[in-house]
Amino acid sequence: MSLVDVSCPAPPAPGDTLSRLLHNLARLSLPLVAVAPLLLPRGGLWALGVLALLGLAGAGRDLLASQRPDWRLPLLLAVAALAWWATGYWHGEGRRALPFAVVLLLAGLAAGARPLLAPWQTTWWWGLGLTGIITGAWALWQRGQLGVSRADGLDPMHAILYGNLSLLAGVCCLAGLAWAWSQPRRRPWLAWLLAGALGGLLASLLSGSRGGWVALPVAVWLLYRLWWRRWPVRRQWGLGLVALGLLALVVALPQSGVQGRVAIAVAEVQAYLADDPRGSVGTRLEIYRGSAALIAERPLLGHGHQGYRDGMRQQVEEGKLIASVARHWHAHNDPLDAWVRRGLPGLLVVLGLYLVPLWAVMRALPGAHGGARSLALAGLLLPVMFFDFGLSYAFFAYPEMLAAYLAWALVLVPSRSPPSGSDP
């Protein structure tokens, strides 16, 4: 059974009280899974925890019915959890690595909820649209009423995490338009998801998260290649002109802060090329250089968290790196951070977090149609955009962000190729 709703499973039989209860709980939980990572304190953990409880209940039902559970994904996640914790233990930091291992194990339990979630696309897209609308309004309120320079979320969702996750929610709402178009009441759903998309994009712009903006052209290109280019040419041009107009309006407004953030980034790149590293861009590039030097020393097992910090401080003291590098506790790049602190096992875990969902989606996407294609597109955007985000910041250095990624992946990524010609 696929999470992209390709088989449209029938509701449980009237006498099957437990199955009815579990399916209703799954339907009610999907909006929470969509909303929680952005709008609740440590919401990624709440979202994954809800799915884990559903997965445990689903596994118990299957055992009572003498059905064999699918153990492949839970086993893969358990191996990843063990690898992550073992490298931490090797460096004397087993306790620090434990939250990440627990998140991966929770995801293994949550995998059992995937068949329960399959029939309920409506509640997922409703929740995701709500997420974009609320996060856009929240960012506007922060800028207009609180006067903050960069909108952010609740701890630990500082501006970078908040802005990039808001951008992902907005772009996934755009992917949901194919589902909305196939609904009997298409106009309210199209308006709802468009509002969610605009809210997510607005929150990203007001957060000033420049690294996430690099992912936006990639996301738009994927949407065009896999969906929009099938539209009539007039509709393609109309949507393109509206989108460009809205983007130009936001960028042109001084209150948005976009112009200033871009100008600062350009100046910092020019300074770095002139051998004068400064600002956030210069500091990041110096962090990458120092991290690469540490990886060359211990490529197999890495340095651990404290060893990484000590190694970077030593390079600062020796004059190899600028002083601002010493303030940062991770490498501001997900693959690089995993490799330098957790060694080759950590790098393989992070690459697997991107590649396994990507492989599953690419296998299922050619046969997905209508509403099924919307979830498949969102499932493709999730690892691609997280990879782009992770090039300029270490998202997986935070257990909450790892939990948010895994919770959304369990909803969006199909478990197998959909049947040919299916269309919910």
What pLDDT sits at residue 270?
75
Q: Could you identify the residue written with the tokens 């690419």?
A: 362
Tell me what the mean pLDDT of segment 331-359 comes to.
Answer: 96
* Range of weakest confidence among 36-40, 138-142, 170-174, 229-233: 229-233
Phi, psi at 423, each rounded to 5°? -155, 110
Per-residue pLDDT tens digits for 362-412: 988 887 776 778 888 999 999 999 999 999 999 999 999 999 999 999 999
Selected residue with higher pLDDT from 126 and 16? 126
pLDDT at 185 over 80: yes
Does residue 233 register a pLDDT over 50? yes
Domain residue ranges of the chain, discontinuous segments joined by +: 17-258+332-412
Is pLDDT of 424 > 60? no
* Section 81-95 average pLDDT: 94
Q: How far apart are CA 394 and CA 390, in angstroms?
A: 5
Mind listing the pLDDT tens digit for each residue in 297-341? 999 999 999 999 999 999 999 999 999 999 999 999 999 999 999
- What's this model's pTM, rounded to 2 decimal places? 0.89
Can you list the positions of beta strands (E) in 228-352?
Answer: none
Contacts of 152 (CB under 8 A, 6+ apart): 142, 158, 159, 162, 163, 207
On average, the pLDDT of the chain sits at 85
What pLDDT is stored for residue 416 in this prediction? 56
Tokens of 183: 């609904």
